[in-house]
Amino acid sequence: MLRLELNGISKQYPAVRANDGVGLRVKPGEIHAVLGENGAGKSTLMKIIYGAVQPDEGEMRWNGELVSVKSPAEARALGISMVYQHFSLFDTLTAAENVWLGLDRAMSLPEVSKRITEVASSYGLDVDPQRPMHSLSVGERQRVEIVRALLTDPQLLILDEPTSVLTPQAVDKLFVTLRRLSERGTSILYISHKLDEIRALCHHCTVLRGGRVTGEVDPTQQSNASLSRLMIGAEPPQLQHKAAKTGATVLSVQGLTLAQSEPFGVALKDIAFDVRAGEIVGVAGVSGNGQQELMAVLSGEDVRAPAGSIRLFGRDIAAHSPRRRRHEGLHFVPEERLGRGAVPGFSLAQNTLLTRTETVSRSGWISTERVRRLTEHLIERFQVKAGGPGAAAKSLSGGNLQKFIVGREIDANPKLLIVSQPTWGVDVGAAALIRGELLALRDAGCALLVVSEELDELFEISDRLIVIAQGRVSPSVPVADATVEKIGEWMSGLWAPATGEARHAEA
């Protein structure tokens, strides 16, 4: 008997047909990948299974019985759990309170906190049940979502880009967990753009393109190239990473020490590094080690930096606002797409105005025609699948919204671009496009600081690497001299200072 069977599932939105007669069959204990480029209809299909979206046509069978799932609560009652790509968590509540909301109240809040600690420990997921959500990084929030799903002991677990902001070590631990669940009979629907993961983990793969099923394969018998062809109709372009031709120092950070701004934050301790024109400096590190705090102080969201600790072209900008820093050539892409990079209910044109103020006259008048043309240009240049400049940001798939946000800042021709998680949740073709644009920006003389938890990405595009651990940064190392093993060791806080002796980044 099949655990899940979908027949003829269709869903039409005003600007796009997200699913068009989709069929899907999942066996008990099967890890089943759903593969497709951004906007192919994967997330919509998962939300239909989970009851968050209602199909226009088609039927769903659960353990052989015809069912109509009207809400996530009904799905959980059947034994279906889901981890969304865009998290469904309340910032003002703790991790334990967020998890408790998704359970049936059979356990008290203290019991839930205890279970979170037990489950997180057994699966190698570092989660503090008492941490407020607003104090957590994207990677830490993802761990909370995964633990919440595991606590329901599901028959079917849906994971939408579960490893997009996890470190390689955390991914390995997650895979051990998923294989253990599979052996117990839990079925897993696994959405990922990381083809190596799908080939290593999944038993079966259904491919979507343009809302339709275009193929079913055994991923263990496929190469990355063949899966790419099935997904996007071609292999992603190869990046041309030329040797860097560096110029003057653009960003200089020296003696940046900053107390934590909240009880669960990370203090920054004597941060020192620089970024020159014409190079990409990559920042590696396990989520929650000070990346958020460093990005906030560099972008100008946090203006507590000591005078002289942050310099742009030699000028002290420690006290400058984000707007002033943009005028001086510093542009910034935050790790959180919805709510930070874009306002969900705003149109793409309105979101363009958030940072591209050249469409506003000195007297404060907005040229709506210029905004529309600029937004259309961004959509075309960065191959964003959207219903035009008037489409709401929240209507785009995660990957397409990421292309728009990153593209908005790249297209501004910044002198310094700081990017956090540039290809989070985007398909291989879109990731290649974004990385290629970052390299082209570097070759044009821009200085780039890229924070990413994907080591493969950092090794692919960076010229130098630094590691952040427990609020400290390592010395920089040229990518040619770095290894995954060395960077992984440094991510634990171990690196060699000038004296040649090993040092551990203090808590």
The average pLDDT across 40-45 equals 90
Percent of the chain with pLDDT over 90: 60
> Is residue 498's pLDDT more than 60?
no
CB distance 98 to 90 below 8 Å: yes
Round to whole Å and give the CA distance between 352 and 233. 30
Superfamily of domain 4-232: P-loop containing nucleotide triphosphate hydrolases (3.40.50.300)
> Is residue 440's pLDDT more than 90?
yes
The answer to which of 29-38, 87-96, 454-463 has the lowest mean pLDDT is 87-96
The average pLDDT across 143-147 equals 86
pLDDT at 257: 97
Better pLDDT: 428 or 80: 80
pLDDT at 468: 95
> Is residue 313's pLDDT more than 90?
yes
Asked if 4-232 and 249-329+414-504 have one fold, the answer is: yes
> Is residue 304's pLDDT more than 90?
yes
> Is residue 502's pLDDT more than 70?
no
pLDDT at 503: 42
CB distance 353 to 366 below 8 Å: yes
Round to whole Å and give the CA distance between 277 and 260. 31
pLDDT confidence of 86, banded at 50, 70, 90? Answer: low
pLDDT at 397: 81
At 76, which amino acid appears? R
pLDDT at 349: 96
At 298, which amino acid appears? L
Round to whole Å and give the CA distance between 495 and 143. 27
Percent of the chain with pLDDT over 70: 95
The answer to which of 1-5, 23-27, 146-150, 206-210 has the lowest mean pLDDT is 146-150
pLDDT at 500: 38
> Is residue 99's pLDDT more than 60?
yes
> Is residue 507's pLDDT more than 50?
no
Tokens describing residue 265: 């934050």
The average pLDDT across 231-257 equals 86
The average pLDDT across 312-337 equals 95
For 286-295, letters b (16+ CB in 10 Å) and e give bbbbbbbbbb
Predicted TM-score (pTM) of this structure: 0.73
> Is residue 107's pLDDT more than 90?
no
| H or E stretch at 231 | helix 224-232
pLDDT at 166: 67
Round to whole Å and give the CA distance between 350 and 426. 23
Residues 6+ apart with CB under 8 A from 321: 300, 303
The average pLDDT across 8-15 equals 90
pLDDT confidence of 165, banded at 50, 70, 90? Answer: low
pLDDT at 360: 85
CB distance 209 to 41 below 8 Å: no
pLDDT at 497: 62
pLDDT confidence of 505, banded at 50, 70, 90? Answer: very low
Q: pLDDT averaged over the chain?
A: 89
Tokens describing residue 40: 């192919």
Better pLDDT: 141 or 405: 405
How many helices (DSSP H) and strands (DSSP E) are in the chain? 16, 23
> Is residue 499's pLDDT more than 60?
no
Tokens describing residue 103: 């359970």
Domains of the chain, by residue range, sit at 4-232, 249-329+414-504
The answer to whether domain 249-329+414-504 has CATH 3.40.50.300 is: yes
pLDDT confidence of 451, banded at 50, 70, 90? Answer: very high
| H or E stretch at 316 | strand 315-316
Round to whole Å and give the CA distance between 164 and 424. 6
Name the strands in the sheet holding 57-62, side by side, starting at the edge strand that comes first in the sequence: 17-26, 4-12, 57-62, 65-67
pLDDT at 167: 65
The average pLDDT across 308-334 equals 96
Tokens describing residue 294: 């460093």
The CA R_g of the chain, rounded to the nearest whole Å, is 23
- pLDDT per residue over 260-288, tens digit each? 988 778 999 999 999 999 999 999 998 78
What phi, psi does 358 have (nearest 5°)?
Answer: -70, -10
